[in-house]
Structure 1
Amino acid sequence: MTSDTNRKCLCTSSDLHAVNATGQEPIRVAQIVGKMVGGGVESVVMNYYRHIDRTKVQFDFLVDEDSTRVPEKEITSLGGHVFRIPPYQHPIRYRHELIRLMREQQWSIVHSNINTLSVFPLSAAKKAGVPVRIAHSHSTMGKGEFAKNAMKLALRPFANVYPTVRFACSHYAGEWLFGKNADFTVIPNAIELDKFRFNAGVRQKTRQELSIADDTFLIGHVGRFMPQKNQTFLVDVLADLLPKRPDTMLAFVGDGPDKSAVQQHAIELGIADHVLFLGQRSDVNRLYQAFDVFCLPSLYEGLGIVAVEAQVAGLPCLLSDAVPMEADVTTKSHFLQIADAKPWSEVLSNLTFPDRSGHVNGDIEEYDIEKQAVNLLVKYKDLFKGIKKH
């Protein structure tokens, strides 16, 4: 991109109107994803994009210009476009650019994935005359993060003002944002189930790559390093567990602003040699195979799709009681309070390990991306038909 088109996609209007085999243009949906920094929400949107029938529906991505992990080459190769816009922290520029883009590109559907902040792009979409405006709740809130929570509480009353359609990743997330009596549709954070199912050969190879001995007890966690994910608590859990199980290692997968603080906490407790920081990985499915247990001590979650992924891999899961019960797709997960590390270390020290080679029972199939991508396609098509009728 050239400097004078930094906030615009370098494509012509004809580029945006490729036709499918029936001679019809695919429905183009503007996906508002905010900052793409390797977090869970953008992963969910990209997963749907990879599996939806793109001859019938195409995604364009509106991302904050300070995003650090935009899969632009992949999006372009799949037929989509990336539009970089000012972040919402610059509200006048942000709104002006959104209205300009929406009028220029004439999207019929705008799908906002930024929770309470959706009020900003959806108000601009209404101003620009976009007929279908989707607000998608992917999260809730919990203790801590005072400034962020204050903003959420201030914006939540406007959650139902601008959308014409409401989606949520779970019933809990939908009720939190839109209200218990609100009309919303749950769109599961679906995944490639076969990609995550247990494979003994992959487990052995991955543990060798990580230099993890067969008899080492490996605790796994996947998540961006930020206050919500509460990783320092897991370090406290490890410190309490090591006297009982000195063969334990803790592996963190992800990146983020709190990573150095978590590393420092492990050093201060004298257990840094029992902690692995594996960084942002594209092979998380393989890492689940190497783990013996999965822990998610979040302060809040809209769902906690990583817990679902871990269960598909046959892992026992310890989840905070702030994670929605809907995440327990096998009905075998442990839900624990995060006020004290001792109950977590006690469960871990007494944990029995299931046979991971068999079929995982539960509501796993609900999270099949192949099935859910078709369902989302039908929803977009029905919404588009509704526009044509009017």
Structure 2
Amino acid sequence: YTNAKIICHSHNSYYSHSFSNKMLMFLLDKLNSKGQKIFNKKADLKIATSKDSALWMFNTLDNVTIVNNGIELEDFKFDNEARKKLRDKLNIADNDKLFGFAGVLQDRKNPIFAVNVFATYVKKNPKSYLLIIGKGPLKAKIEEVSKELKIDDKIKFITYTNELNKWYSALDILIFPSLYEGFGLVPLEAQVSNLLVLASDKVAPQVFVTKNINKISNFDKDTWDKVLENLKFKTVQQREGIDYSLEKFDVKRQAAEISNLLESEK
């Protein structure tokens, strides 16, 4: 325990159905602007999960410590039993390809783009499905677009789950085309289960850890389609184990680092 005032920022956002999206963003911008000034003035210790989130929160990297998000690695490792159980729940066969999108259904997460990328793939590979995990104001738009593209029978929704770590095992590939991110915890977690990931370059650089994640530097659908077509999907056997390069994100290691920072402020 320490008397130091700590501001830790990960650039996450929350929303309520009681406000329109535009009104909510307006209020959040006002609140963030006020909070940033107060925090910068009062904080003795500043922590952020990435350089981008540090610059957004503190407007500087000076005297800001970058600490990785911590993950319970064992909770996210590949689980073949969970894969079978969850795919059965969706009536997805072993040889079908299951794409995934996980996140709030807002513009910044770019879910419509993910649907369009999948639409091109499924036309050439009909034994494919897209699972969208999350809720938000764009759900109705996603349903509308999927009907226009005539792939609505290929898209499945899960509004909420407390087993996202298990769903990574059920998926064959994760699409993460965010327009901006303070960090990008979902694609990092996905790599623990050796899940293939396509992610935009708006995700924090330290998230691109293993060979399983592919960074794409634009939002041209043809580019994403080309990367997707050239990917070799992993077998169940290839997804066993945890890549040693992810050990630096182990939650115990991150907790120890923050504890040492707190001790230094006593």
Q: TM-score, normalised by structure 1?
A: 0.59
Counterpart of 2:124 in 1: which secondary structure? coil
Compared CA separation, residues 219 and 152, structure 1 to 2 (3 A): farther
Letter aligned with residue 292 of structure 1: D
Residue 208 of structure 1: aligned partner? 88
State the AA in 1 paired with 2:257.
N
CA distance in 2, matches of 1:314, 1:163: 38
- Alpha-carbon distance between aligned partners in 2 of 1:269 and 1:165, rounded to the nearest angstrom: 50
131, 135, 138: which one aligns with 2:7: 135
Instruction: Give the ranges of 4+ consecutive aligned residues of structure 1 lying more than 3 Å apart after TM superposition.
Output: 145-157, 377-383
Aligned-partner Cα distance in 2 for 1:205–1:350: 29
* Residue among 118, 136, 151 paired with 1:271: 151
Cα distance change on mapping 1:332 and 1:290 into 2, 3 Å: closer
Q: Deviations over 1:115-144 (max 9, x none)?
A: xxxxxxxxxxxxxxxx63222221299xxx
* 3-state SS in 2 of match to 1:160: helix
Alignment match, 2:130: 250
Aligned 8 A contact 1:175 1:182 in 2: no
C-alpha distance in 2, partners of 1:202/1:332? Answer: 20
Distance 1:155 1:331, change over 3 A: farther
Quote the RMSD (CA, aligned, Å): 2.6
Aligned-residue offset at 1:217:
0.9
Change (3 A) 1:255 1:332: same
Deviations 1:237-281 (A, max 9, x none): 112222222222111112223222222222232211111111110
Q: Indicate how the Cα distance of structure 1 residues 218 and 371 shifts in structure 2: closer, same or farther if over 3 A, else same.
A: same
Give the aligned partner of residue 30 of structure 1. none
Matched residues, number: 252
Check whether the contact 2:208–2:215 (CA below 8 A) recurs between aligned residues. no
Contact 1:244–1:349 (Cα < 8 Å) also in 2: no
Q: After superposition, where does 1:61-76 map in structure 2 within 5 Å?
A: none
SS at match of 2:243: coil
In the alignment, what sits opposite 2:108? 228
**SS of corresponding position for 1:201:** helix
Aligned to 1:357: 240
Q: Specify the SS of the correspondent of 1:132.
A: coil
Question: What secondary structure is seen at the aligned counterpart in 2 of 1:243?
Answer: helix
Question: CA shift at 1:337, angstroms?
Answer: 3.7
Establish whether residue 380 from structure 1 lines up as the match of residue 252 from structure 2. Answer: no
Contact 2:72 2:251 in 1 (8 A): yes
Aligned equivalents of 1:148 and 1:233: distance in 2? 27
- Measure, in 2, the Cα distance between the counterparts of 1:152 and 1:349: 43
Calculate percent identity across the aligned residue pairs. 31
Q: 1:152 to 1:322 in 2, by over 3 A?
A: farther
Q: Is structure 2 residue 161 aligned with structure 1 residue 281?
A: yes
Distance 1:148 1:270, change over 3 A: farther
Within-5 A mapping of 1:291-330? 291-330=171-210
Name which one, 1 or 2, has greater alpha-carbon Rg: 1
Deviation at 1:184, TM superposition (A): 1.2
Shift of 1:166: 0.7
Q: Which amino acid is 1:262 matched to?
A: I
Look up the match of 2:42: 162
Report if aligned partners of 2:4, 2:262 keep a CA contact under 8 Å in 1.
no
The letter of the residue matching 2:146 is A
Q: Does 1:199 align with 2:79?
A: yes
User: What SS does the corresponding residue of 1:302 show, helix, strand or coil?
Assistant: coil
1 CA distance for matches of 2:200 and 2:183? 12
Which 5+ residue runs of structure 1 have no aligned equivalent?
1-26, 28-108, 110-130
User: Could you say what secondary structure the match of 2:69 adopts?
Assistant: coil
Checking the alignment, whether the CA contact within 8 Å between 1:169 and 1:188 is kept in structure 2 is yes
Cα 1:196/1:140, change in 2 over 3 Å: closer
Q: Given the superposition, is the C-alpha separation of residues 295 and 361 from structure 1 closer, same or farther in structure 2, using an over 3 Å criterion?
A: farther
Measure the CA separation in 2 of the matches of 1:148 and 1:341. 33
Is the partner of 2:42 in helix, strand or coil?
coil
* Structure 1 pair 162–328 and aligned structure 2 pair: CA distance change class (3 A): same
Which has the bigger relative contact order, CA under 8 A and spacing at least 6?
2
Give unmatched runs, 5+ long, in structure 2. 14-21
Deviation, 1:222, is 1.3
| Partner in structure 2 of residue 4 of structure 1 | none
CA shift digits 1:74-131 (9 cap, x unpaired): xxxxxxxxxxxxxxxxxxxxxxxxxxxxxxxxxxx7xxxxxxxxxxxxxxxxxxxxx6
Confirm or deny: 8 A CA contact 1:294 1:317 kept in the other structure.
yes
Per the alignment, do residues 150 and 192 of structure 1 end up closer, same or farther by CA in structure 2, a change over 3 Å counting? Answer: closer
Change (3 A) 1:153 1:377: closer
